Structure 1
């Protein structure tokens, strides 16, 4: 289970500009100074531990193999290729930010566990790489919700959930963000180009009231700590049944993270700050987060190389 709180060093790492207007929140986080990867390591190890145990067990690896042990080169998540690492970094950062900062609604969000064990291609990758070191390749992304957090009542039942869409980009330029939110350029049928409309807003607007991420979370809770989370498991059962489900209110989260564009001006946001855009029609409380970093590629590689004493 995920048990580690965000590190205190975040306050010196990121400058916060937080705006909440009704059911819309916008949080801009800009890097003030570098952060030591060692400050982030406990949080990232906690976030990845569930998937590490599952993937290593499936591949026949020890959880913490010695350097010379068979398959030691295939330890998750350090063994993953650079693009996959950056995607995972963005998703873990999504959780860290959720636990650290005030969001719309001012809920007390809990993250019992991250859902990385459901990254099927990563599981296949670790299994094959442990048996053949030459099996290095790029990975397909994980399907479903990038991130789920829950708000629990005094009895431990889920009374609201947060569904997050996390995207990492090497440079957060206006063009990259426009593509993320509105889709790729396509032929408009008249010799010109238009956005496909199949971006993040489209996906959020079509989300189910009870997405599969809730079932994934429930399955892990049943396996890992059914007694402690009995009330949460029962409340999710009631929300996930097909006949007359009990609706659990939902908050949507969009988090974009990456290196600052060359022309980035401090304090400048890439998405609206005062109200949800017209393209968002789901009707749930919406929280947008932009995390603007500097030279983050080095940080990500140092961090992932160092997990569980790697380097």
Structure 2
């Protein structure tokens, strides 16, 4: 269980700032506001990601924590994973939201989630420096992690008339089953590496070039399910709601599968406090 206090915020803050730095530069530049505007300067109210509505921040929290756990822990297969950059800049609705908000502070509204892969990490061979595998993930946040909430999220919500209800096709297992062997997230991370770190990742870029051809070779793919949320009152410590011995029958993709459940203490307060602290120079 992850506690919620000032020390945890202080420990998480550098990683979260690093994860959001690229998107912050892109969105601020598009909105024509400074990266570090003073409190009374135009655009100070529209800083990314601090200005986002609460629901959007919760989604970002899950994606960043998925990256942190992927780098910090040994997952299925025992591979070493690298996250050269997060894909947050590929969220057109956030770009438009910040542009509008910087010019009209009253335009606060909810934002739909980013389309595409929630999370991509690369397996880079230490000798050749080429990408030899990748992990693609679905990262989710739920305020209360209960069995019914988990079932709706993983299997899809109930739909159809009474007496003939079936699960919809919007569950996580269905999304993973439909996941492409070469997803768009690989193209996006390739594009970012070309722009931001071409020399440092030259071999990785070239190997991704070969994979991303329409008839290119495929990389071994590992699937990740990362779910974070508050502990429900009835949940015993250490209990899991997702399978931890073998993939469930609903998962038919046949790839290596890693599942992580992160139970957070007072998670909503932690997320609010964490995102309010990013790039806050007042506390040094």
> TM-score range, shorter-chain basis?
over 0.9
Quote the offset at 1:192 in angstroms: 4.0
Query: Quick check: 2:4–2:269 contact (8 Å CA) kept in 1?
Result: no
Question: Is the contact between residue 4 and residue 267 of structure 2 (CA under 8 Å) also seen in structure 1?
Answer: no
| 2:28 alignment partner in structure 1 | 56
Q: For residues 158 and 91 of structure 1, what CA distance do their matches in structure 2 show?
A: 22
CA distance in 2, matches of 1:252, 1:310: 38
- C-alpha deviation, 1:66, in angstroms: 1.5
State the shift of 1:190 in Å: 6.2
Report the equivalent of 1:76: 48
1:195-274 aligned within 5 A: 195-243=167-215, 245-274=216-245
Q: 1:190 to 1:130 in 2, by over 3 A?
A: closer
Structure 2 counterpart of 1:308, from 265, 279, 282? 279
Secondary structure, aligned partner of 2:250: coil
Q: Could you tell me whether the CA contact under 8 Å between 2:4 and 2:270 is conserved in 1?
A: no
**5+ residue gaps, structure 2:** none
Q: Give yes or no for contact 2:63–2:139 (8 Å, CA) kept in 1.
A: yes
For 1:184, the equivalent position in structure 2 comes to 157
Of Structure 1 and Structure 2, the greater strand share is in: 1
CA-atom RMSD in angstroms: 1.3
TM-score using structure 1 length? 0.87
In structure 1, the residue matched to 2:69 is 97
Which of 161, 164, 175 does residue 148 from structure 2 map onto? 175
CA offsets 1:25-53 (integer angstroms, 9 cap, x no match)? xxxxx236745311111010000000000
In the alignment, structure 1 segments of 5+ residues that lack a partner are 1-29
Bigger mean CA deviation after superposition, 249-258 or 31-40: 31-40
Q: Secondary structure at the match of 1:99?
A: helix
Tell me the secondary structure at the aligned position of residue 89 of structure 2.
Answer: helix
Match of 2:65, SS state, is: helix
State the partner residue of 1:20.
Answer: none
Structure 2 partner of 1:141: 113
Query: Which has the larger displacement, 211-220 or 66-75?
Result: 66-75
2:253 corresponds in structure 1 to 282
The normalised TM-score by structure 2 is 0.95
1 CA distance for matches of 2:36 and 2:170?
41
- 1:158 aligned to 2:131? yes
C-alpha distance in 1 between matches for 2:82 and 2:189: 12
8 A Cα contact 2:155 2:173, kept in partner:
yes
Larger mean Cα displacement after TM superposition, 233-242 or 33-42: 33-42
